[in-house]
Amino acid sequence: MLLSLLKILLFFAVILAIALGLNTLSANTDGVHLVVAGQEYFLGPIQAVIALVVLVIAGWAVMKLLGMLWAFIRFIMGDETAINRYFARSRRQKGIEALSQGLLAVASGEGKQAQDMAVRAAKYLDDPRATRLLAAQAAEVAGDNAKAESVYREMLEDDRTRFVGVRGLMKQKLADGDTHTALALAQKAYALKPRHTEVQNTLLELSAKEGDWKGARSVLKDKRKQGELPRDVHIRRDAVLALQEARDVLSHGNSISAREAAISAAKASPDLIPAVAMAARTYIEQKDRRNAERLLEKAWSVRPHPDLAEVYAEIVPDETPHQRLRRFESLMKRNPDDEETRLLRAELLLADEDFPAARRALGDLAVTHPTTRTLAIMAAVERGEGGSDAAVRAWLVKAMTASRGPQWVCDKCDHVMEDWGPICDNCGGFDTLTWREPAVKRSAASPAGAELLPLLVGKSNVGKNEGHARQDVPDAEEVTRHETTVVADVAPGMVPRESDFQGEPSRTITDPEPVTTRPEPTTSTVPQRPAAEKLAPASEAAAVAETAAPKVTVVQQAGTAATRSDEPSEARIVRPDVELPEDDSLPPARDDSRHARLVLDGDTPPRPDVEPPEPTVKRP
């Protein structure tokens, strides 16, 4: 407000001064007399003022013309002038425009255009820091790794761009899979900028992959000092690195340092199961049973795990099952309601042959959370209590398709690993493995389970009332490919029973040469039977693979009963190489099925009282 008032007052003062000046000039009638080259001029007051203004303008114009002339002379002589500055401003403007377009091309993934703009920017701009960076990024987008590496090496010459060059080369080596060189470059980049988060993480990851556990712990310590890691995360990761360092030291024979590192890791992170197990084993080697039990019980209260129970059993390896059950009570009371504790109790009771107590220990786990381990325990309990074979097999069939329960699963990529490790084998994540159940559970029988299924459910007479699910049936040629002759343990001249054979009759086929037979034999066809059927309903058990067998015909002697086609028993087989009496007489038959002869389709039924030729095995 005050400044505006002062401006107004100044304006009026100037107007007043001009008015007073014009009034003074008007009052003066003398004017101005000028004599130029003998010529006299008389100017009035107003004319004199106008002449003065014109003279000033003319003088200014002359000075400008002289300045331009002098600048032109300097330009010709090579000195910096306004003309140089004009052209320089024009070039800089073009360079900045090319740099901007190049950055946009890099961001949009147009590598070729970005490279062209990088060349144009380097032509117009005298700033190698920006132009080299654009050239390197453009080469990376275009896929020209050799060009990008060359530019990054040029950036190492300037102190201001050395870190960018080292970081760029590090990424190049990581992309090429050269982790050893990348680790050396990461260490140089970390020395240039210790607080750079990306370089810290890369150096930590590469150190862990290369087994430089000491260097990784040093980086982890710096991250904690800089406040980039919470205290609990730092303790956990430092324990992981200490455990791996202890393993390496132990592999080199330094058991004392390894023991100290393992114990330190276990105390720092009780939920790190491998560290606790290793530390407990070191106590066991020292005959320090008390500290081993204390360490394992503390870890069990935090996170029960089968490895902890295994090490706990190693404390007293030669105890009886009942003694072990009593000793494990101090461990199981730490976390009694956990699923792992209930499974451990059931297994100990099984070893002690207390099957009802084992069933009570499991409770409803077989229904609420059926896993392979739970269902296998239930099968053992069923067997121990004297249950039927069908009931035991039903539990085992369910176990084949059930979830495997908790495993070492990567939290980053859900990859399942057999054993714990600091680095995920799939994604390379550090300390990402946790003991939990995978997100995707097993819903179908594994190939190994399908092969074991016939052994679990039996070869025949299984699942009569529950039906069966058919899978792909192999050809008969594939089934007969591995068949061999069955040897019967009978006296010469006697017709063997089915029980006299050492193999399975349904899987042994002989193919004798055609011989003369008596007319009008009575025949019956044995239907094809599956080698395995389902035990459980279709909603609970896996589909059972059904093995095809070649169609056979049983020939009955006149006056004997033929085998019924719907009879569930297997076809009775007689070896043709059994010696028969020469007088055409037969011993008394023990049952009607004793005189049955097995032949293949298309073969002439042989007489049982005629000695057949040597046996041959039909090959596919």
CATH code of residue 234: 1.25.40.10
| Residue 441 confidence (pLDDT) | 55
Amino acid at 123: K
- What is the residue range of 69's domain? 43-79
**Rounded CA separation 133/165 (Å):** 9
Where are the strands (E) in 246-301, listed by range?
none
* Max Cα distance, the chain (Å): 182
Whole-angstrom Cα distance, residue 303 to residue 300?
5
Is 328 part of a structural domain of the chain?
A: no
- Asked if residue 299 is part of any domain, the answer here is yes
> CB of 393 within 8 A of CB of 455?
no
Residues paired with 522 in a beta bridge: 556
- A 10 A CB-CB count for 11 gives 10
* The last residue of a domain, from among 31, 55, 79: 79
pLDDT at residue 101, as a whole number:
93
Residue 264 placed within a domain: yes
Give SS3 for 584.
Answer: coil
In a domain, 362, yes or no: no
Structure tokens at 322: 């009942």
Cα 419 from chain centre: 14
What is the spatial distance between Cα 360 and Cα 13, in angstroms, rounded to a whole number? 110
As to burial, measured by CB atoms within 10 angstroms (0-12 exposed, 13-18 middle, 19+ buried), residue 290 is exposed
The structure tokens listed for 299 are 């870890």
> Among candidates 482, 491, 481, 498, which has minimal Cα distance to 574?
498
Q: How far is CA 448 from the centre of its chain?
A: 23
Distance CA 368, CA 365 (A): 5
Decide which of 286, 318, 350 is a domain's last residue. Answer: 318
Host H or E run for residue 434: strand 433-436
* Residues in the chain where the model's pLDDT stays below 50: 443-488, 490, 492-498, 500-610, 612, 615-620
Nearest 10 degrees: Cα torsion 520, 526, 528, 530: -170
CA–chain centroid gap for 480, Å, is 43
Indicate whether 414 belongs to any domain. no
Any domain includes 47: yes
* Per-residue confidence (pLDDT) for residue 67, from 0 to 100: 85
Domain assignment present for residue 418? The answer is no
Cα end-to-end span (Å), the chain: 114
Domain boundary among 284, 318, 352: 318
Which residues pair with residue 380 across a beta bridge?
none
The pLDDT score that the predictor gives to residue 547 is 31
Select from 97, 100, 102, 94 the least CA-distant residue to 118.
102
Q: What is the pLDDT of residue 28?
A: 66
pTM of the shown model? 0.56
Residue 314 phi, psi dihedral angles, 5° rounding: -70, -15
Instruction: Enter the tokens of residue 140.
Output: 């990376």
Structure tokens at 247: 């393993």
Sheet with strand 407-410: strands edge to edge: 416-417, 407-410, 433-436
Residue 48 domain-assigned? yes
Please tell me the distance from the alpha carbon of residue 561 to that of residue 543, in angstroms, as a whole number. Answer: 37
**Under a CB-based contact definition with an 8 Å cutoff, are residues 393 and 457 in contact?**
yes
Burial class (CB in 10 A: 0-12, 13-18, 19+), 320: exposed
Q: How many domains would you assign to the chain?
A: 2
Residue 417 backbone dihedrals phi, psi, to 5 degrees: -115, 145
> What pLDDT score does 254 carry?
64
Helix, strand, coil percent content, the chain, rounded in steps of 5? 55, 5, 40
